Amino acid sequence: MKLIEVKDYNEMSQKAAEYIIEKVRNHPRINLGLATGGTPVGTYKILIEDHQKNGTSYQEVTTFNLDEYIGLSGNNPNSYRYFMNEKLFNHLDINKNNTFIPSGVAEDIQTECLRYEQLIAQHGGVDLQILGIGQNGHIGFNEPGTSFESNTHVVDLAPSTIKANARFFDNEEEVPTKAITMGIATIMKSKEILLLVSGESKNDAMHKLWNGEVTESFPASILKNHPYVTIIADQAAVAGLKIHS
Ligand SMILES: O=P(O)(O)OC[C@H]1O[C@](O)(CO)[C@@H](O)[C@@H]1O
């Protein structure tokens, strides 16, 4: 894993956006894996600004999102489909038919999991996956204890994740308790991974990721086994970390 340390959230967003823009410019037909949550929002903003100012085009880009809440349709402002449309897709020249997110309201959720997994494979896999990390080490919605062999699947959200994500809802009771997520094996099949980490609340997770063992009780630890991971993390997230040990 390569670690790029930056000052703060803004610098992380800037660096991450530059990284993605370069890839998109060099590979206009790239398959991007995208994440939701608070972490990538600043990055998405800069991608939009760059598209408007410099004309970076997403016409041929395909995207696959990591996850979606079960029970929320794309019209629901708390769904990840809505989030992605608002925060990114509506402001780019991307063809929305090429933006894929698991459906949280599919009649048969197990079939939807299979379909999503196959869809990614049929497109040749994800070239660059953007990831955030949960305070408990989750990636996508893969909570501690998830098998490293898992493909796209249904998860029960950990109470701590529900609490952390309640800030996006009117109250905690409204946060769905289940989600559909790319599995750990799905994520690991990405050719390249860009992990974004910002803030003191992620400091503990960053320490466990950097210094801890590879274990299913800390899902992000599997990234150590991936050949091509870049982490962009800010000072608050890496404080106390011995980077050059
Ligand atoms: O970026 P945040 O809001 O801290 O969330 C971290 C991670 O948690 C999730 O939002 C899932 O809870 C992921 O999509 C995200 O990468």
Task: Give the nearest ligand 1 atom to 35 CA.
Answer: 14
Q: What is the pLDDT of residue 244?
A: 63
What pLDDT score does 245 carry? 46
Which letter does DSSP use for residue 220 in this model? Answer: G
Distance 39 CA to ligand 1 centre (A): 7
Which of 34, 36, 130 most suits a substitution to test ligand 1, by most atoms within 8 Å of the C-beta?
Answer: 36
Looking up tokens 């079960």, which residue turns up?
A: 70
Task: List domains and CATH numbers for the chain.
Answer: 2-187+210-238 (3.40.50.1360)
Q: Which residue has the CA at smallest separation from atom 11 of ligand 1?
A: 141
Note the pTM of the prediction, 2 decimals: 0.96
Q: CA 179, CA 202: separation in Å to the nearest integer? A: 22
Backbone angles phi, psi at 99, to 5 degrees: -110, 115
Active-site residue list? 67, 136, 138, 143
Residue 209: partners with Cβ closer than 8 Å, 6 or more residues away: 133, 137, 218, 220, 221, 223, 224, 231
Q: Is 37 in the pocket of ligand 1 (CB under 6 A)?
A: yes
Over its C-alpha atoms, the chain yields an Rg (Å, rounded) of 17
Q: What is the pLDDT of residue 76?
A: 95
For residues 168 and 40, give the distance between their C-alpha atoms in angstroms, rounded to a whole number. 15
Say how many residues make up the chain.
245
Mean pLDDT, each 10-residue run in order, the chain (245 residues): 97 98 98 97 98 98 98 96 98 98 97 98 98 96 96 94 91 94 98 98 98 98 98 98 73
